[in-house]
Structure 1
Amino acid sequence: MTKSQLINENQVGGLFLMLGSIVLLTTIYFEYSVGWIGVTRTYKETNAFILGNWDSLKQIWTWQMLSHFTYTIGYVLLLKNANIVMRIIWTILMVCSLLMLVAFGFTLGTYYPALETYNSEPLLFETIRGGIGYLYQFGRYGLLLFLVAFLIESLHTNGKIVKVFGLAFLGFMVVLFIIGYTFGISMKIIGASFFLLPLTIGFFYFKNGAK
């Protein structure tokens, strides 16, 4: 493989990470706007909210599904020429995003009809929600590997991220979480800043190519 091919694959992979992050962050903003996150509800109230706001949530979750599909393409491009450690990380992240894709697909296809019949057949929705929940949680926790990837790319000699910037950015993230916790801001809102990590990683891959 020529250097130009390597640069192109790394840059395109980084671009897909950026696009996926931008789409995901935008959808989280809309989740907050419609009241899906940042509001405490009982289980019954949550079900009623989904049913009553399905049209908006369906669009938001469709775009979130698209964001994970975009991430998956980025991982495939980046892992092809990565060293063994980063290849493992990109592969695990790819599996996690695939699980998220399946979870969103089932959510979009089954949640609304199952909630419509909830009063007469509650077990149907509970079963669907439980299965989707396992897929979603496993995939979401796997995304914590973004932090590992960010550290490696910041601290490694040949890392894509400028070391000083990487450490300063992580410090900023820590401060942001502390402020959010101190002032009682919902962690679902503060947690959205976590996706600045893949956005930044993608930017430096796009910027530095095969360096």
Structure 2
Amino acid sequence: MPLPETGTLSIALGRCISAGTPLGPFEGTSFEGLTTASDTGLIHAVEDCPHLAQASSVRAVGFNLDASSLERLCTNWSCRWAVPDDGRWPVFLDALDALSRLWSKEEEEDTLPSEADVAAAAGLLSLGEFPEDEADADAWERHAEARACRDDLLALWRNPQHRLITAGDGLAACPWLRPWAEARMTVWAERRGAASTAH
């Protein structure tokens, strides 16, 4: 794959910008790509994309970035287009990355400590960070587990807060994304808040 020109970024647009994303000032940006003989296939950035391996013929195609072309962009990481490294594209892509972290599958796997564990940890740590009897190995272990429970709970609370702040910064930099993203941000924040306050 050829290296991008100086002053450009090499971006897997089909991966970074999901279909339905408002493009704002990037709407209509011209790109060159490759597609199969039928005009309905995916648009690829490079001829050696694995998804083109079985194609009987490949032809060059010019396209403007819009809702319809976005749906056709190949999502393989090898399909990378050059975009100007002028500050505008990086800000847009960073905003989309921050927003994608709000509704990624990854955060669904976070597991909160049980209510019983939290109550036990809070009760124990209210008496002190460490056991009074320095020779009691079991007490040291219980205190260590209580501190770990508290730390896990705090981390699970801070992580959503950090994600929301970062996503909010992205929306401030790319205001055309706000109507599209804010409803989902609100639902996500309420869901995460309900899960935390339940504990």
* Same fold per superposition (TM over 0.5): no
Higher relative contact order (CA 8 A, sep 6+): 1
Question: What is the TM-score when the length of structure 1 is the normalising length?
Answer: 0.29
Kindly name which structure, 1 or 2, has the bigger radius of gyration based on alpha carbons.
2
Question: What is the TM-score when the length of structure 2 is the normalising length?
Answer: 0.30
Larger proportion of strand: 2
Larger proportion of helix: 1
